[in-house]
Amino acid sequence: MPFNIVHDADGFPRIILTEPTGSSAEVLLYGGQVVSWKNERREELLFMSRKAIWKPPKAIRGGIPVCFPQFGNFGSLEQHGFARNRFWSLDNDHSPLPPAKNQSSVVDLILKSTEEDLKTWPQSFELRLRISLSAGKLTLIPRVRNTNNKAFSFMFALRNYLSVSDISEVRVEGLETLDYLDNLMHRERYTEQADAITFDGEIDRVYLSTPKKIAIIDHEKKRTFVLRKEGMPDAVVWNPWNKKAKALPDMGDGDYNTMLCVDSAAIETPIVLKPYQEWKGHQELSTVSSSYCSGQLDPRKVLHGFS
């Protein structure tokens, strides 16, 4: 199905993806950002802050921002890099990606380095993003091409703001026993001891060498998000909790209670690209019943793997 472009009152061109069962997604050219993903029952699956600032050059708090070429304050650039507050373009030359299989609605976007960007990050690049929607599934395929005649390195993350019923009723499975960098403890390295991650306070961790599949179980909604990823070995888990949420001007005081970020990322070991080389990542978000847990993360049993 072709996508539609609408121009809302906020002035952002908005791409609408739909598929036959009734699910939908909305993507902005600003930031190349998915800002809505609804299932066939029209339930919103992504969190969007009630105080989100819809005005450039501010980043929009919610949906799926693209963090490039750095994540957080791990480098010298603005937090999470500049890709999330630039205007992207439709990409009509999306080779060498094959046509999306079993995807009902697809859009290809591109962001190229500008002279302004080169002043702060002197690397010439093309960042492409394919966003495709099918029944119960939202897939993002980012690609970065080095158009320089010298090598460069970068960090990358897809920041997934997931909508949950009550953060205290959520658990994340698939990250147990792994090492993580704790951003609340000066990025010191620890090992996860819990059987699953549960939430009773602020959390900001970069889990390292993570599996390709992670389950985010929402007991109250009886729904599990399944995050499947390739090319992004790290996973960030973030919730600001009440004190930090109140300090964020673009977040409602109680918003922390209905959101959780679980990100696909490459942070600890930046990706290195030689001249004219390309990197490709792959992220797939899907939802299944809450009986699904990490012990069932066998794609032959529940979900089909990547094509």
Which residues are known binding-site members? 61, 79, 84
- Which of 197, 209, 253 shows the shortest CA–CA distance to 51? 253
Annotation: binding site for substrate = 61, 79, 84
Please answer whether residues 254 and 243 qualify as being in contact, where contact means their C-beta atoms are separated by less than 8 angstroms: no
Q: What is the largest distance, in Å, between two alpha-carbon atoms of the chain?
A: 53
**Tokens 């976007």, located at residue:** 109
Q: What does R_g of the chain's alpha carbons equal in angstroms?
A: 18
CA distance 191 to 181: 9
Q: Is 128 within 8 Å of 109 (Cβ atoms)?
A: yes
Q: Output the six-digit token pair for 176.
A: 């147990």
* For residue 57, cis peptide bond before it (omega within 30 degrees of 0): yes
**How far is residue 57 CA from its own chain's centroid?**
20
* Nearest C-alpha neighbor of 278 from the set 86, 137, 117, 110: 110
Q: How far apart are CA 130 and CA 91, in angstroms?
A: 9
Q: Cα separation of 23 and 136, whole Å?
A: 7
Q: 3-class DSSP state for residue 37?
A: strand
Nearest residue to 141 via CA among 3, 271, 279, 287: 279
